[in-house]
Amino acid sequence: MGELWEQYYTSEQLKTLQKIELDNLRAFIDVCEKLDLTYFLYGGSLLGAEKYKGMIPWDDDIDVALTRESYDRFVKLAPDLLPEGYFIQSPYNCPASPYPYTKLRRRGTKYVEYPNRNVNIETGIYIDIYPVDRIPDDEHLRKRQFRLVRKWIFIYQCRQTPLYDRKVPGSFGFLKRFVKWGVCHVLKVFSQSYCVKQIDKYMSMYNSTETKRYAALNSPNYDNIYLNLFPLEKVQFEKFELNVPGDWKTHLQMRYGDYSKEPPEDQRCGHIPYILDFGDIS
């Protein structure tokens, strides 16, 4: 039967996609080093560094994160520092973006997922870039902050994408699409910029306090927490030596559980492309 990713990519396609993403990563690192920004591997890329010293073999994206101050500087200054062929897409410079975080995309390519098939945005192959903020040490306050952030991310994503995110046939599918379309248009009572400001407000509400914990609050996973983010460490990731959180193995255990085990073959897949086009890039 094979691994799930083989239903969507040939081996050559996945290899080419990963190569372009690693080129994106190189451009990202160069900007961070020029600006002396605090960045580190995140999510599945952090897991890949631990298990494979690089990308997970079937993964089709790269995730990085920056502390909030560095993230804000990157979004503001990176467009003038990137080499030709790369561009920054964020909710600050792209009002139609369905993503409440930032992507570094490669011009001349296309990677479109099904939910965003009709969203009018640039669609180049990308890496994902997330902000990391302080979160309270008190459990009650932490849960409250998490709920507020997730509420506004839900509102933002619903208002940005009127189409339903899965192919559901029949009358039930039609009803779901109709409800999603209606919710999207009702939520347009909130402007895109207002939603982004609310998300950022609640994500960064504890950044002026001396808390021990940090989190990338774009994640729907409540346990996506860093208990000891600093000092950062260096690890091998493909041909790079990159930063990782000081508590990275504890962080991975909290987020993924026993990550030493390989997932079943029918779960070995990253995102699913609706449109994939490498253009003239090989």
* DSSP-assigned states of every residue in 60-79: ---EEEEEHHHHHHHHHHGG
Q: How far is CA 228 from the centre of its chain?
A: 21
Identify whether 148 is part of a domain: no
User: What pLDDT score was predicted for residue 280?
Assistant: 86
Sign of the CA dihedral with 277 first, then 9, 161, and 42 last = negative
Tell me what percent of the chain is helix, strand and coil, each rounded to the nearest 5.
40, 20, 40
Mean pLDDT of the region 15-39: 98
Identify whether 185 is part of a domain: no
Instruction: Specify the range with the lowest mean pLDDT, choosing from 29-38, 71-80, 124-133, 268-277.
Output: 268-277
Identify whether 153 is part of a domain: no
pLDDT class of 183 with cuts at 50, 70, 90: confident
Query: Token pair for residue 93?
Result: 């410079």
Tell me the CB-side half-sphere exposure of residue 47, using CA atoms within 13 A: 22
Mean pLDDT of the region 160-173: 66
**226 φ, ψ (degrees, to nearest 5):** -105, 120
User: What pLDDT score was predicted for residue 123?
Assistant: 96
Q: Is the pLDDT of residue 70 over 80?
A: yes
Identify whether 221 is part of a domain: yes
- Tens digit of each residue's pLDDT (9 = 90 or more) over 119-158: 899 999 999 999 999 999 999 999 999 999 999 999 999 8
Place of tokens 């559901």: 168
User: What pLDDT score was predicted for residue 90?
Assistant: 97
Identify whether 223 is part of a domain: yes
Mean pLDDT of the region 75-102: 96
- Please tell me the distance from the alpha carbon of residue 15 to that of residue 18, in angstroms, as a whole number: 5
* Residue range of the domain that includes 12: 4-133+217-277
User: What pLDDT score was predicted for residue 186?
Assistant: 80
Identify whether 145 is part of a domain: no
User: What pLDDT score was predicted for residue 166?
Assistant: 60
CB 232 within 8 A of CB 244: yes
Give the angle subtended at the CA of 36 by the CAs of 240 and 129, to the nearest 5°.
Answer: 65
Query: pTM for this one?
Result: 0.93
User: What pLDDT score was predicted for residue 27?
Assistant: 98
pLDDT class of 165 with cuts at 50, 70, 90: low
Identify whether 76 is part of a domain: yes
Identify whether 34 is part of a domain: yes
- Please tell me the distance from the alpha carbon of residue 45 to that of residue 22, in angstroms, as a whole number: 11
Domain count across the chain: 1
DSSP state letters, 146-168: HHHHHHHHHHHHHHH--S-SS--
Q: Is the pLDDT of residue 117 over 90?
A: no
Place of tokens 């083989």: 6
The single-letter DSSP state of residue 229 is: -
- Please tell me the distance from the alpha carbon of residue 3 to that of residue 263, in angstroms, as a whole number: 10
Query: Token pair for residue 216?
Result: 């990338």
3-class DSSP string for 50-61? HHHCCCCCCCCC
- Please tell me the distance from the alpha carbon of residue 107 to that of residue 148, in angstroms, as a whole number: 35
